[in-house]
């Protein structure tokens, strides 16, 4: 409580003070879950020229890369040398049109770069442990920068 922190860079910054902390009850995890992004999910791969290609959830193989990322996180969490190529049975299903969101990092420095993620709704069929890990640690890459935060997809009722 009353801790202060700053978000931003040299030219644009906002100061914050913590005034309250709440916990949210976790969902009951199942092998099939529907999520909506609260922050963009970033999934990338290296091109032959060693530049980064940020993938849309509509790209072929996106679901596989997303689950491989969860497997690497799982292996790191339990300190095993689990074979990250041995993927569990999974299915990734995009539920709406994704919205591209670029985020500039280290603006006005020589290290300036842009990270690209997407906001969308999706259904993931995967082991419960991977569902929970994605929900708690974040889906995709760059989670320490705020990417990959989700919540359960809210059911929209017809009027």
Please give the tally of structural domains in the chain. Answer: 1
**19 lies in a domain?**
no
Note the pLDDT of residue 159: 40
pTM value? 0.85
Strand ranges in the chain using DSSP code E only, listed in sequence order:
4-8, 13-17, 32-37, 44-46, 52-54, 91-94, 99-105, 113-119, 121-125, 150-152
Label residue 65 by pLDDT band (50, 70, 90).
very high
Mean of pLDDT values over 58-78: 94
**2 lies in a domain?**
no
**35 lies in a domain?**
yes
**99 lies in a domain?**
yes
Residues 129, 132, 138, 141, Cα dihedral to 10° = 10
Label residue 2 by pLDDT band (50, 70, 90).
confident
**80 lies in a domain?**
yes
For residue 158, pLDDT beyond 60: no
Note the pLDDT of residue 156: 63
Domain coverage including residue 80:
28-152
For residue 92, pLDDT beyond 90: yes
């Amino acid at each position: 409580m009353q801790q202060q922190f700053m978000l931003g860079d040299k030219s644009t910054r906002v100061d914050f003070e913590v005034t309250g902390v709440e916990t949210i009850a976790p969902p009951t995890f199942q092998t099939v879950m529907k999520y909506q992004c609260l922050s963009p999910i970033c999934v990338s791969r290296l091109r032959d020229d060693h530049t980064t290609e940020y993938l849309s959830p509509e790209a072929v193989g996106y679901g596989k890369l997303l689950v491989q990322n969860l497997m690497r996180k799982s292996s790191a969490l339990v300190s095993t040398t689990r074979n990250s190529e041995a993927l569990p049975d999974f299915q990734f299903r995009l539920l709406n049109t994704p919205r591209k969101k670029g985020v500039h990092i280290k603006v006005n420095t020589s290290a300036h770069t842009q990270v690209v993620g997407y906001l969308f709704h999706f259904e993931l069929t995967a082991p419960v442990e991977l569902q929970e890990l994605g929900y708690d640690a974040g889906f995709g890459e760059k989670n320490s920068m705020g990417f990959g935060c989700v919540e359960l997809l809210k059911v929209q009722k017809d009027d």
